Structure 1
Amino acid sequence: MILALALWLGISITAIAEEPIIIGLNFPRTGHYKEEGLAQMRGALLAIDEINAKGGLLGRPIKLITRDTASRPEKAARNVDSMIGEGAVMLFGSVSSAVAVAAAERARQNKTIYFSTIGYANDVTTEKGHRYIFRESTSATMSARALGEYLTLNFPNKKYFYITADYSWGHSSEESLRKNTNTQDTNTHPGVLVPFPSAKQSDYSSALKKAEESNAEVIVLALYGHDLVRAMRTADTMGLNRKTQIVAPNLTQTVIEQTGPSLMVGVLGTEHWFWRVPEIEKSGTGLMFTKNFSDRYGLYPASAAASAYTVIYQWADAVSRSKSLDSANVIKALENHEYQLLKDKAQWRGFDHQNVQTVYVVRVNGRETVVRHPSRQDYLEVVHSLSGDKAAISHDEWKELRKAAKQPDTLR
C-alpha cells in the first residue's frame, strides 16, 4: 500500500509539474487587419515551439489559446474574460489601438498582464495606460518624430494634405506628424477624415480628389491595414502616387503585399522592425528568427510577427527571472528591463510601460530591387533612423498628458 501510494503521488506530482502554462492571443482572425493578425499567430507559435523544445517555462510547456477580435473592442474585451476563464495567465495581441485599450482595461480588472503587440495610438501608454498594459510597438509620436526629421530635411516648405482614419490612432498620427513637420496650420495644410471602420470606396475617392485639388506636394495617408490598401489603389488609379510624395506613417510589409509593391514605389513611412533590420543591426538572434520563420512558413516575417515573438520571449524571460507567473511579479521584472533580441537594444520603460526602441524611416523599393532578392520580399529601404530615447516622449511630457486627462501620474 505504501509503495502504491508513493507511486500514485509521484504520478500526480509529475502530472502537476507538466501541466501547461496557458497564454492567450487576442487577435483579428477576420475583419480589418486580419493579415497582421495572422502574422502575430505565426510569430507566437514559432516562439512557443522554440521555448517548449528547450524544456518549457518553469519546467512546464506553454500552451496557446486564441480568440478572434474581428477588430471590435467590445468583442476583444469579452475574449479576455473567456481566456482568463480557461486559465490564461498572460494575454497579448491586438492591431487596432481601440481594441488594445478595451482588452487591456478588462485584463486590468482581472489583474492579468496584457501586451499590446500592435497598437500605435499615443493614448495606449499615455492617457489610457495602466499598470497591467505593456506596448511592444512604437507609438504615433515615436513614428512622427523619426519621420518628421526626415521630411523636414528632405521636403522643406512643402504643402501637405492629410487623409486620416477617424479613430484614436488616426487622430494621434495626424496630430503628431503635423507637430513634427510644422504643418499645424490647417488652412495651408488641410485634411479630411474618413470613416472608420466603415469607410466606403467613395470616401477614399472623395478624399483623394480633394488632396489633388489642393495642389499638395505631400499627401499623408494616416490610414492602416485594409484602409491604406484601398486608398493606395485609388491613388494609383488617379496617378497621384506618380506625381506626389505619399507618406503612410506606419508602413508595413503586409500592406505592401496586399496593395502590390509596384503601386507603392517611393512611399515613405516608418517601421519598428522588418526582416532587413537584423542585418542592419548585426543581430544574430534576429537573423536566426528570420531564417526559422522563413523555413517554417515559406515567407519572411512582418513586424507583427516579430512583435508577437518578442512579447512571448520577453514575458517568458520575466517569468524566469521572477520565478513566478503572478502578474504583479512579472510586471516588476519587466519594468525598466533592457534587452536585445531581434535588433539593437530596447527597454520596457518603467513609468509608462512603453517599449523604447529604434524607429526606422523607410521607403518602398522599386520593382527591380524587390524581384532581385530570392524571396521577392525586399520591399523596404531604410533612409533614416531615430533612437528610441529621442523618439519616445519624456517623463515630463507623459505627466502633462496624464494631468490633462485627469489621470494619476503613476500607473495604477
Structure 2
Amino acid sequence: MKRLTACLALWAGLVACVQAAEPITLGLNYPRTGNYKEEGLAQMRGALLAIDELNAKGGVLGRPLRLSSYDSASRPEKAVKNVDKLADEGAAMLFGGASSAVAIAAGKRAQQRGLLYFGTLTYSNDTTGKDGHRYLFRECNSAWMSARVLGQYLAKTLPGKRYFYVTADYTWGTTSESSLRETTATQDTANNPGVKVPFPGARLSDYQNALTQAAASKPDVLVLVLFGDDLVRAMRIAETLGLTKSTQIVAPNLTQGIIEQAGPSLMAGVLGTEPWTWTVPEREGSEAGKAFVRNFTERNGVYPSSSAASAYSIVYQWADAATRSKSLDSETLIKALEGHSYSLLKGPQQWRAFDHQNVQTVYAVRVKPRAEVMKDGLHQDYFEIVHQLDGEQAAPSLAEWQAERRAAKQPPTLQ
C-alpha cells in the first residue's frame, strides 16, 4: 500500500511538473472544409489522441504538447498563410493536409520559416520527388508506390484490357495517372484515352462530360484519379451511366472516409490502395496498432482511417525524434529522423534519408459488398486486402529518384 501511495504521489508530481512547464505547440494545417474535409476530421482526431497519450506519459522533454490548427480548405495559398500563423505562434513543427499541392506549397514556406513539415495525405510523386527538400517528410506512400502494387494486381487479374482515365488536373492527379499508365503498360493514349477535370473547383458538368466520354469509349477498366468529394460525385454519375456495372473501376487512393461518404453499395468492387487500414494491426500482429484501433474507436465511436493513423504516427515519430536527440531544433531533428527505422501501427517502416519518403508496405484493396460490410459491428469493415508490396520494392530507387530530379533540373540531393 505504501509503495502504491508513493507511486501515485510520484506520478502526480510528474504530471504537475509537466502541466507547469511551457507547452510545446504542434501545428496542424488541415482541411476542415472543402472537398477533403472528411480526411481532415480524421487527422484532427488522430493527432489529438496521440497528444493526449503523450501528455499522460509526461509530454516531450518534460513539457506538455498542445495542438494549434487552421483550416487549409485544401487550397495552397491558404495553407501557406496558415504556416505563417502557426510559425508566429511558436509552433515547433507542422503537419497535415490531404492535397499534394497543399503539402508542397506549405512545405516550402515551412522551410523558409525553419520548421519541419510532415505531409499526411499527399500522394504526388513530386512531394518527395522534384519538389522534395530537407524540411519536408512524407508519412504516406507516393503515387508511384500505389501504382506499383496496383499495377501488379491489375496485370495479373486483368491483363491486356482497355483503360480510360478521368484525372484531377493537379500534381497528385497527373503523377498518379502517369505512374499507373507505366505500371499497367497503358501509355498508348489512342487505345487508352483519358480526360482531365479541373482542380479545385470542378463542376458537376465537368464530371458529366468526362464520364460520358468514358462510357462512349467502352473501356474494360475505368480509372478515376479523383479523391474525397470529387470521387464521390464522379461515382454517382458513373452509376447513372451504367459504368459501375460494365467496367472495373479503379481509384488509386481510397480512404475509409470516401467509402462512408459514397456508401458501400455504390463503391462495392472498386479497386484502389491504402497504406493502412484498421484491420492491418491484427493482420501483422502489431500490439501498438491494436491499441490504437481500440483507443481511437472507444473515443470516437468509429474505426480509425489511414488519415487518422498518419497524423497519429507523425506526432509520435516527431516526439520520438525529439526525445532521442533531446532537442526541438529542426536541423537536429532532421538528422534524428533520416534513416530511422521503427514499427508503430504495422510492420517495419523507415524514414528514408535521401528523399524523406516513409518506406512501408502498401496494400491493394477492394471495397467489399455491402452485405459483408454490414456484418461488422460498426458497419465499417470496408476493405479486402487483395495484394501487398514491401516498401523497398514499391518505392523508387535512388537512381530513379535522382533521374527524376535531374529531369526537373533539381539537385541530386535534398537542399
TM-score normalised by length of structure 1: 0.96
Quote the Cα distance in structure 2 between the aligned partners of 1:80 and 1:101: 12
SS of alignment partner, residue 231 of structure 1: helix
User: Are the counterparts in 2 of residues 69 and 76 from structure 1 also a CA contact under 8 Å?
Assistant: yes
CA contact (8 A) 2:162 2:191 kept: yes
Residue 137 of structure 1: aligned partner: 140
In the alignment, the residues of structure 2 paired with residue 219 and residue 385 of structure 1 have an alpha-carbon distance, to the nearest angstrom, of: 22
Residue number in structure 1 paired with 2:108: 105
Residue 344 (structure 1) aligns with: 347
The question of 1:250 aligning with 2:287 is answered no
Which residue is 2:282 aligned to?
279
- SS state at 1:384 partner: strand
1:293 equivalent to 2:296? Answer yes
Q: Which residue pairs with 2:312 in the alignment?
A: 309
Per the TM alignment, residue 200 of structure 1 is displaced from its structure 2 partner at its CA by: 1.0
Post-superposition shift, 1:239? Answer: 1.9
Q: CA deviation at 1:172?
A: 0.4
Alpha-carbon distance in structure 2 between the residues aligned to 1:384 and 1:378:
17
Cα displacement (A) at 1:80: 0.7
Work out the CA distance in 2 between the residues paired with 1:320 and 1:21: 13
Deviations 1:300-347 (A, max 9, x none): 011100000000000000000000000111110000000000011000
Report the Cα offset of residue 15 of structure 1. 9.1
1:66 to 64, 69, 87: 69
Cα pair 1:91 1:112 within 8 Å, conserved:
yes
Of 267, 272, 276, which residue of structure 2 is paired with 1:269? 272
The one-letter amino acid paired with 1:260 is: G
**Displaced runs of 4 or more, over 3 A:** 14-17
Partner residue, 1:383: 386
- 1:393 and 2:396 are equivalent in the alignment: yes
Alpha-carbon separation, structure 1, partners of 2:335 and 2:195: 43
1:335 to 317, 326, 338: 338
Please give the per-residue CA displacement for 1:22-48, whole angstroms capped at 9, x wherever unaligned: 110000111120110000000000000
The TM-score normalised by the length of structure 2 is 0.95
Question: Could you tell me which residue of structure 2 aligns to residue 221 of structure 1?
Answer: 224
Q: Taking structure 1 as reference, are residues 335 and 15 closer, same or farther at Cα in structure 2, changes over 3 Å only?
A: closer
| Contact 1:245–1:267 (CA under 8 A) maintained in structure 2 | yes
Q: For residues 378 and 34 of structure 2, what CA distance do their matches in structure 1 show?
A: 28
Deviations 1:51-109 (A, max 9, x none): 00011111110011001111110111111111111110100011110000010000100
Secondary structure in 1 aligned to 2:273? strand
Q: 1:29 aligns with which of 29, 32, 37?
A: 32
SS at 2:374 equivalent: helix
Pairwise CA distance, 1:195:
1.0
- Match status 1:86 vs 2:61: no
Query: What corresponds to 1:52 in structure 2?
Result: 55
State the Cα deviation string for residues 250-277 of structure 1 (Å, max 9, x = none): 0111000000110011000000011111
Aligned residues: 399
2:372 pairs, out of 356, 369, 373, with 369
Is the Cα contact below 8 Å between 1:121 and 1:140 reproduced in 2? yes
What whole-Å deviation, never above 9, does each CA across 1:130-188 have from its counterpart, x for those lacking one? 00000001000000000000000100010000000011100001000000000000001
The answer to whether the Cα contact below 8 Å between 1:17 and 1:59 also exists between their aligned partners in 2 is no
CA distance in 1, matches of 2:212, 2:73: 31
- In the alignment, the residues of structure 2 paired with residue 180 and residue 15 of structure 1 have an alpha-carbon distance, to the nearest angstrom, of 51
Could you tell me which amino acid in structure 2 is paired with residue 390 of structure 1? Q
Aligned residue in 2 for 1:235 = 238
> 2 CA distance for matches of 1:16 and 1:181?
55
Q: CA deviation at 1:365?
A: 0.3
Specify the alignment match of 2:7 in structure 1.
none
The question of 1:195 aligning with 2:177 is answered no
Partner of 1:408: 411
Aligned residue runs from structure 1 range 147-162, under 5 A = 147-162=150-165
- Native 8 Å contact 1:119 1:135 kept in 2: yes
Match of 1:117 among 117, 120, 129: 120
Give me the whole-angstrom Cα distance separating, in 2, the residues matched to 1:160 and 1:16. 58
CA RMSD of aligned residues (A): 1.0
Instruction: Return closer, same or farther for 1:194/1:242 CA change in 2, 3 Å cut-off.
Output: same
CA distance in 2, matches of 1:144, 1:282: 26
SS of 2:320 mapped into structure 1: helix
**Aligned residue number for residue 3 of structure 1:** none
1:351 and 1:17, CA in 2 relative to 1: closer, same or farther beyond 3 A?
farther
Q: Distance in 2 between matches of 1:411 and 1:327?
A: 15
Corresponding residue for 2:13? none
Identity %: 63
Displacement of 1:16: 10
Cα offsets for 1:338-389 (capped at 9, x unmatched): 0000011000000000000000000000111101011100100000000000
Secondary structure, counterpart of 1:219 in structure 2? strand
Q: What 5-or-longer segments of structure 1 have no aligned partner?
A: 1-13
CA contact (8 A) 2:18 2:64 kept: no
Paired letter, 1:56: G
1:126 to 112, 125, 129: 129
1:171 aligns with 2:174: yes
Tell me if structure 1 keeps the 8 A contact 2:250–2:271.
yes
Matches of 1:396 and 1:245, distance apart in 2: 34
